[in-house]
């Protein structure tokens, strides 16, 4: 039954008690975030409606006035949870929107995506405004709000499914022929709903999978036929087996979901295989079964990691800014005096070598400090027409003494369709120079280094460096661009991080191709602008 609009858009329950969050939840958003949400409420709702109207054919057919009303209520329900940790408005809205959307023939996955838009819009706006601290504060309360909303929505579906099965079992004894037909139709209808749900849906009995929808199978790299009868742990990375078993032991019959279980899927790395499960055990009359929903949370994990990285970079920036003056001036003075001593003292043998080593080490310290300062500053680019061949040649000219010292040859290769394009030549030179210097370090004497540039078919400029060094350990590839991560004995771990920041400021990306013992190729991909 559709609830009265005065109840839907209010905050009290039928008995006058306000809704309470689930056990263990006490997340209230900080006041700055709440003020920001209220200030931007109208624009957030409008953007939400605009995206929603294009989300699927089901939403595009709805009147815009209706979407404005439902989105406004969804926003206010989320805001009440974030402000006071109350669930009444969210629960009433879920009841209302479930009935309304199911009546209109909406796929369940479309409604779930609509709920998710709140997080993506808020996150994107905070990033665009560089409100990193506010973004960090928003992650946990917004995740809690949406996690409850979506899981409550999925749990409601589970209750409907269980109730339908029990009703069918009771009615079969009275009207077996009629109820068999109705059961077949019901199973077809609910199977369609299960297959359309955005999250993975599964049923386990005695530790083995009795049912898994297409979303679950896609997520775990299998098929429904292959998944049937397989132990669930067959799809969980071995290092997560013990944690998963412990979570299963803590689940009681009929107990509502009160916690989530996270694991990494078999064959996936931690960045792409993070999965979250919400499940409970029920008795359907033929033994205990576990019914659950699993979701891929890789994007959320990556966002949380990025927030932590931004917090660390902000701290590094503050520390660097406060120390740069105290360190940079003495270093410059030391370097200048060492140069004077090198020119005026007539040293030879070990004394001359020790002085030269000292000069090089001071220069290395100055370079590390400069990279720290670059890391702490936002990257701003100034686009202008430039020929990438000129940028490459300028880098090669700068490293000529180093290549001559090791008898290396740098081979340049360009595609025939290269033209001038818009980029920040100075910043790109800085990034390319870093890649070339890295290649020089790992390439043995007398070998070749390849520097290439081409206009790809997807309208991207690709600029790359290929060395003939020992290659990179596959376990290190995912961390190469992390600040302060290095595989070199005297590396600072800042060079590749700054390369990535410069390329991303151009709205591009950096790719790495490597094979242990066969060298490595770094490719910068930048949008082609004319």
What does the pLDDT look like over 461-484, one tens digit per residue?
999 999 988 888 777 777 787 777
Residues 73 and 116 in one domain: yes
- CATH number of the domain that 69 lies in? 1.10.490.10
User: CA 112 → CA 34, 98, 194, 214, 439, distances in Å?
Assistant: 24, 11, 13, 16, 47
Give 6-57 pLDDT, tens digit per residue. Answer: 333 333 333 333 344 444 445 688 999 999 999 999 999 999 999 998 888 9
Query: Do 462 and 402 sit in the same domain of this protein?
Result: yes
Beta strands in 345-447 (DSSP E): 384-386, 409-414, 421-423
Category of 421 on φ-ψ map: left (φ > 0), alpha (ψ -120 to 50) or beta: beta
Q: Are residues 287 and 312 in the same domain?
A: no
Cβ contacts of 505-510, under 8 Å, gap ≥ 24: 505/379, 505/380, 505/381, 505/424, 505/427, 506/381, 506/423, 506/424, 506/427, 506/428, 508/460, 510/481
Q: What residues contact 40, with CB distance under 8 A and at least 6 apart?
A: 125
Structure token pair of residue 249: 């032991």
The pLDDT value given to residue 193 = 63
CATH code of the domain in which 363 resides? 1.10.287
Closest CA to 110 of 147, 40, 61: 61
Last residue of a domain, one of 297, 324, 355: 297
155-191 confidence digits (pLDDT tens): 776 666 566 557 767 776 777 766 667 766 776 766 6
Q: How far apart are CA 87 and CA 197, in angstroms?
A: 23
SS3 520: strand
State the Cα–Cα distance between residues 356 and 339, nearest whole angstrom.
9
Residue 310 forms part of a structural domain: yes
What is the phi-psi region of residue 469: left when phi exceeds 0, alpha when psi lies from -120 to 50, beta otherwise? beta
Question: What's the pLDDT score for residue 8?
Answer: 31
What is the model's pTM?
Answer: 0.42
Number of domains in the chain: 4
The DSSP result for 265-325, as a single string, is: BTT--TTT-EEEEEEEEEE-SSSEEEEEEEEE-HHHHHHHHHHHHHHHHHHHHHHHHHHHH
146 within domain boundaries: yes
Q: Are residues 246 and 147 in the same domain?
A: no
Query: Is 5 domain-assigned?
Result: no
Find the CATH number of the domain harbouring 242: 3.30.450.20
Q: Which residue, chain included where needed, has tokens 């700068």? A: 398
Which pLDDT does position 19 carry in this prediction? Answer: 41
Per-position DSSP letters for 418-485, written without gaps between them: ---EEE-HHHHHHHHHHHHHHHHHHSPTT-EEEEEEEE-TTSEEEEEEE--S----HHHHTTTTSTT-
**Which of 250, 279, 297 corresponds to the end of one domain?**
297
- What values do phi and psi take at 339, rounded to 5? -65, -40
- In this structure, the answer to whether residues 340 and 455 fall within a common structural domain is no
- Look at strands 448-455 and 409-414 and give their pairing: parallel
Work out the end-to-end distance of the chain between its first and last CA atoms, rounded to an integer number of angstroms. Answer: 58
Residue 190 placed within a domain: no
Pair (324, 229) in one structural domain: no
pLDDT at 422: 92
The pLDDT value given to residue 489:
56
Phi, psi of 139 (to 5 degrees): -60, -55
CATH number at residue 432: 3.30.565.10
Does residue 8 fall inside a structural domain?
A: no
Q: How much is the pLDDT for 235?
A: 87
- The verdict on 388 and 421 lying in the same domain is yes
Q: Quick one: pLDDT at residue 350?
A: 81
Distance CA 212, CA 230 (A): 11
Residues 362 and 444 in one domain: no
DSSP class of residue 212 equals E
Residue 149 neighbours by CB distance under 10 Å:
23
- Whether residue 215 is contained in a domain is answered as yes
Please report whether residue 515 resides in a domain.
yes
Q: Do 43 and 161 belong to one domain?
A: yes
β-sheet bridge partners, residue 520: 514
Is residue 200 within 8 Å of 215, Cβ to Cβ?
yes
User: Does residue 47 sit in the same domain as residue 156?
Assistant: yes
Q: Which residue, 326, 348, 376, sits at the end of a domain?
A: 376
Same domain, 45 and 162: yes
Range of the domain at 330: 301-376
Q: Are 316 and 483 in contact (CB under 8 A)?
A: yes
27: Cβ–Cβ under 8 A, 6 or more apart, which residues?
85, 140, 141, 144, 145
Residue 163: per-residue pLDDT: 64
Same domain for 360 and 346:
yes
- The three-state DSSP-derived secondary structure of 82-126 is HHHCCCHHHHHHHHHHHHHHHHCCCCHHHHHHHHHHHHHHHHHHH
| In-domain check, residue 161 | yes
pLDDT tens series, the chain, 530 aa: 333 333 333 333 333 333 444 444 456 889 999 999 999 999 999 999 999 988 889 899 999 999 999 999 999 999 999 999 888 999 998 888 877 877 777 877 888 889 899 999 999 999 999 999 999 988 999 998 888 888 887 677 666 656 655 776 777 677 776 666 776 677 676 666 666 677 888 888 888 888 888 888 888 888 888 888 888 888 888 888 887 777 665 554 445 444 678 888 887 766 678 888 888 888 777 778 888 888 888 888 878 777 777 666 666 666 666 666 677 778 778 878 888 887 787 777 787 788 878 887 787 777 777 767 766 667 788 899 999 999 999 999 989 988 999 999 999 999 988 888 999 998 899 899 989 998 998 898 989 999 999 998 888 999 999 998 888 877 777 778 777 767 665 666 677 888 888 899 899 999 998 877 788 999 999 999 87
């Amino acid at each position: 039954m559709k609830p009265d609009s005065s109840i839907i858009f209010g905050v009290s329950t039928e008995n006058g008690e306000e809704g309470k969050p689930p056990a263990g939840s006490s997340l209230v958003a900080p006041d700055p975030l709440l003020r920001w949400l209220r200030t931007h409420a109208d624009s957030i709702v409008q953007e939400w409606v605009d995206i929603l109207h294009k989300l699927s054919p089901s939403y595009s057919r709805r009147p815009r006035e209706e979407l404005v009303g439902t989105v406004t209520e969804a926003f206010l329900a989320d805001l009440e949870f974030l402000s006071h940790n109350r669930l009444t408005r969210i629960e009433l809205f879920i009841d209302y929107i479930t009935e309304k959307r199911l009546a209109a023939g909406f796929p369940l996955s479309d409604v779930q995506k609509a709920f998710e838009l709140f997080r993506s819009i808020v996150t994107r706006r905070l990033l665009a405004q560089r409100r990193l601290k506010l973004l960090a504060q928003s992650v946990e309360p917004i995740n809690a709000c949406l996690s409850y909303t979506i899981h409550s929505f999925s749990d409601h579906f589970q209750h409907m499914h269980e109730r339908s099965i029990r009703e069918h079992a009771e009615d079969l004894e009275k009207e077996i022929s009629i109820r068999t037909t109705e059961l077949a139709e019901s199973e077809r209808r609910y199977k369609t709903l299960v297959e359309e749900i955005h999250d993975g849906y599964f049923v386990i009995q005695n530790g083995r999978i009795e049912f898994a929808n297409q979303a679950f199978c896609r997520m775990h790299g299998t098929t429904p036929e292959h998944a049937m009868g397989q132990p669930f742990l067959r799809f969980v990375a071995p290092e997560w087996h013990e944690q998963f078993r412990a979570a299963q032991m803590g689940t009681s019959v009929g107990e509502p979901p009160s916690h989530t279980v996270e694991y990494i899927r078999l064959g996936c790395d931690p960045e792409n295989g993070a999965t979250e499960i919400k499940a409970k055990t029920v008795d359907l009359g033929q033994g205990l079964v576990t019914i659950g929903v699993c979701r891929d949370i890789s994007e959320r994990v990556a966002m949380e990691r990025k927030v932590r990285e931004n917090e660390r970079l902000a701290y590094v920036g503050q520390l660097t800014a406060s120390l740069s003056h105290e360190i940079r001036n003495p270093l410059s003075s030391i370097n200048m005096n060492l140069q004077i001593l090198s020119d005026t003292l007539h040293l030879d043998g070990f004394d001359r070598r020790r002085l030269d080593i000292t000069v090089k080490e001071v220069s290395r310290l100055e370079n590390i400090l400069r990279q720290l300062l670059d890391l702490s500053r936002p990257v701003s680019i100034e686009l202008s027409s430039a020929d990438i061949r000129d940028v490459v040649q300028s880098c090669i000219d700068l490293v000529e003494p180093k290549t001559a010292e090791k008898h290396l040859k740098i081979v340049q290769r360009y595609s025939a369709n290269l033209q001038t394009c818009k980029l920040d030549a100075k910043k790109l030179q800085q990034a390319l120079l870093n890649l070339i210097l890295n290649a020089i370090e790992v390439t043995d004497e007398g070998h070749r280094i390849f520097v290439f540039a081409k206009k790809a078919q997807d309208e991207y400029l690709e600029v790359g460096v290929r060395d003939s060094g020992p290659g990179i350990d596959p376990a290190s590839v995912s961390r190469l661009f992390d600040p302060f991560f290095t595989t070199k004995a005297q590396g600072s771990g800042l060079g590749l991080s700054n390369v990535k920041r410069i390329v991303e400021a151009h709205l591009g990306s950096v790719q790495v191709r490597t094979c242990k013992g066969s060298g490595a190729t770094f490719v910068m991909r930048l949008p082609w602008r004319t």
